[in-house]
Chains A and B, each alone.
Chain A
């Protein structure tokens, strides 16, 4: 490829001696500003190494004259974020729950805070979308064991359910089978009675046999018509929402063992403002009440 170097006729410039398909490469010098730009980048690198952390060593890295530290920056950014959030927390603190929900801006703020807090703390049991699961209440529908008003929700979150807070919400469904309070046959009859309460077809004979048992054992909490009592956390047995399952096996199991879930006392871990925002988030995304 390399042939004799010669001077190009047209430009009067010496060629490099390289030739491709009859095209010869001219040996034009690079412009000098290229060189100076290159020197400039070297100078920049040297200055940068002096000013900024650059070289790793046995006992740590060179710190640089500017004292730049990403870790320190994150710490100060987080502190600044706390100050920034303080303004929002102050607004939440001053407003009532109803005011927060009815003011579009405050509600949007509470929804943002609530969503992230919910994801960190509540989603483990209630699911990211708040729809719960077997044994974990669905927070998106309009069925509430302990009441679904803003204040009810705030109180439930603050004190927890069957937790160790002195005012915790607690209710006890007796384990009628396990504790031998009722005969197995009576539990079977009662199962049919509950199925009938929820508006589904059931064995008429069993329902008739169970009626006095229901009246003596269950009415105190679930009510004569089976609609429950939110003040004591007794579920409504006539709707289509079943915390522990809607089929006969599940209902019978619940009468037999009387399971009850536990929710921690969030008042110990979350600030009152956070609980307020969380309450609005849960209420705003739920139905009814």
Chain B
């Protein structure tokens, strides 16, 4: 595969061997020495197809985030009336009609694997779309830039303002911006905690100082991170802190769609005067619009690079200029490295979305989604676990009868109290009993709605010299159409000494 890095425009200082003196001097130069300050980036407002999609996604994702905890959902009894609730204290997760117990944490594992595989597939097909459109860092940074523009104006005005000495005008603009940022950050942290506690209750107790300490700490933590990450650090988070750029690099290949500068069409670049011929030159007029709109502060014309989040704002900026020039759009476009390389060699570019890599990702995604869904649908509404007594493993009664003790943990996942009939299968003449209750062929245990009850159950069998020391058995727990069972053993030790 031909190299994608074009060295036809070497930087002026390239290929110069630096002397020791110059090296020492270089440490303190514009690069900032050992530590480099963030180079301010002033993304310019752009409009176009991709920007519109980004606006739409920004509104949709933020709306989902802020509104979800306020959706009410009727549930019977004392159960929470909140549609989406992570109830740590009650150890339940409520998602509309789905209610998950801690034992069903595998569903979450499935969801995480699905999310990872979906990201793999999307990245293999379309590059870092997640980074450019849906990542919270991108969404909140976008929102913070909107606020910044509101107070300080667009790119040029912002640059002018930053260059000015401190004045009243500058001070109130900066203060207003930071206060608004802090307000949004607080709203972000504040919305987060509503996912973990009944929202209408929490919003009241939070303000009168009676919320849980975790609520205040979580809120403060998210306020701080939102303000610092989306306000101050922005692209530094993506470039230096986030692991995804490195990991996603492993899922991309030359057939993945990425924002690319079509150098075969653009070069050689240069200024263009109206009326001049376009013969013998590229379409790029070196207007720098793709650079000034980039929220990551890169020049896409240098080729695909780590910082690029595939957001397509440079595409919008370039298309806008090309339109005004009357040239066909798409000089910067979602394209594949292989297509760019093919055209450079004069071949026809072929887009190959179906590749071994995408097939694997898609198959794995279907498989894991199916398994997770299957697990969710087939999970039992009642569950019984048996813990048999180990000390003593059995008790011999005065008449030689043998009694084993068990603790049954019966989970009732339905929303109504249920009386479970417990029977023991595998032993003839077995009598079941509970402390303080008469023995019978079965016992009845009440399990309140949405709870687990640990019940002591004794199984007694009459004396029988021929009975093996250990017999497999099974507890069957039934309430109406709901049934569950659990294997165990009945131990009776050596034959009766009588």
Do A and B pair up? The answer is yes
Q: Is B160 an interface residue (CB 8 A)?
A: no
A22 CB to closest chain B CB (Å) equals: 15
Q: Is A108 an interface residue (CB 8 A)?
A: yes
The answer on a CB contact under 8 Å between B496 and A131 is no
Taking CB atoms, residues of chain A closer than 8 Å to B435 are 101, 107, 280, 283-285
B227 CB to closest chain A CB (Å) equals: 14
The answer on a CB contact under 8 Å between B398 and A143 is yes
The answer on a CB contact under 8 Å between A240 and B396 is yes
Given contacts A108-B454, A143-B398, contact A29 B240 (CB under 8 A): no
- The CA of A35 and the CA of B33, in the complex, are separated in Å by 12
Which partner residue on chain B sits nearest A129 by CB separation? B391
Q: Is A6 an interface residue (CB 8 A)?
A: yes
**Number of A-B contacts defined by CB within 8 Å:** 119
Which partner residue on chain B sits nearest A286 by CB separation? B395
Taking CB atoms, residues of chain B closer than 8 Å to A288 are 397-398
The answer on a CB contact under 8 Å between A128 and B391 is yes
Q: Is B32 an interface residue (CB 8 A)?
A: yes
Q: Is B78 an interface residue (CB 8 A)?
A: no
CB interface residues, B 20-69, toward A, < 8 Å: 23, 26, 31-38
Q: Is B403 an interface residue (CB 8 A)?
A: yes
- The CA of A284 and the CA of B436, in the complex, are separated in Å by 7
The answer on a CB contact under 8 Å between A7 and B18 is yes
The answer on a CB contact under 8 Å between A31 and B15 is no
The answer on a CB contact under 8 Å between B18 and A29 is no
The answer on a CB contact under 8 Å between B398 and A32 is no
Could you tell me the dominant secondary structure of chain A's interface residues?
Answer: loop
A243 CB to closest chain B CB (Å) equals: 13
- The CA of A103 and the CA of B9, in the complex, are separated in Å by 86
CB interface residues, A 1-52, toward B, < 8 Å: 4-10, 12, 14, 28-35
Complex interface bits, A228-252 against B, C-beta within 8 A gives 1, otherwise 0: 0000000010011100001000000
CB interface residues, B 228-259, toward A, < 8 Å: 233, 236, 240
A103 CB to closest chain B CB (Å) equals: 9
Which partner residue on chain A sits nearest B453 by CB separation? A104
| One of A32, A246, A287 near B395 (C-beta < 8 A) | A287
Q: Is A199 an interface residue (CB 8 A)?
A: yes
The answer on a CB contact under 8 Å between B498 and A284 is no
Q: Is B98 an interface residue (CB 8 A)?
A: no
For B23, B396, B436, the residue with the greatest tally of chain A CB atoms inside 10 Å of its CB is B436
Q: Is B13 an interface residue (CB 8 A)?
A: yes
| One of B233, B392, B454 near A33 (C-beta < 8 A) | B233
The answer on a CB contact under 8 Å between B454 and A31 is no
The answer on a CB contact under 8 Å between A12 and B389 is no
Taking CB atoms, residues of chain B closer than 8 Å to A102 are 436-437
Taking CB atoms, residues of chain A closer than 8 Å to B396 are 141, 240
For B236, B396, B454, the residue with the greatest tally of chain A CB atoms inside 10 Å of its CB is B396
B111 CB to closest chain A CB (Å) equals: 32
- The CA of A111 and the CA of B32, in the complex, are separated in Å by 70
- The CA of A136 and the CA of B151, in the complex, are separated in Å by 86
Which partner residue on chain A sits nearest B447 by CB separation? A104
| One of A5, A35, A199, A240 near B23 (C-beta < 8 A) | A5
Given contacts A30-B34, A30-B35, A288-B397, contact A240 B16 (CB under 8 A): no
- The CA of A10 and the CA of B37, in the complex, are separated in Å by 22
Q: List 25 A-B contacts (CB under 8 A).
A: A4-B17, A6-B18, A7-B14, A7-B18, A10-B5, A10-B7, A29-B31, A30-B35, A31-B240, A32-B36, A101-B436, A102-B437, A129-B389, A140-B395, A141-B397, A143-B398, A200-B498, A241-B398, A246-B497, A280-B435, A284-B435, A284-B436, A287-B403, A287-B460, A288-B397
Which residues does B use to contact A, with CB under 8 Å? Answer: 5, 7, 10-11, 13-18, 23, 26, 31-38, 233, 236, 240, 389-392, 395-400, 403, 405, 435-437, 446, 453-456, 458, 460, 496-498
Please name the 8 residue pairs, one residue from A and one from B, whose CB atoms are nearest each other, closest first: A284-B435, A129-B391, A101-B436, A29-B36, A239-B398, A12-B11, A140-B395, A32-B35
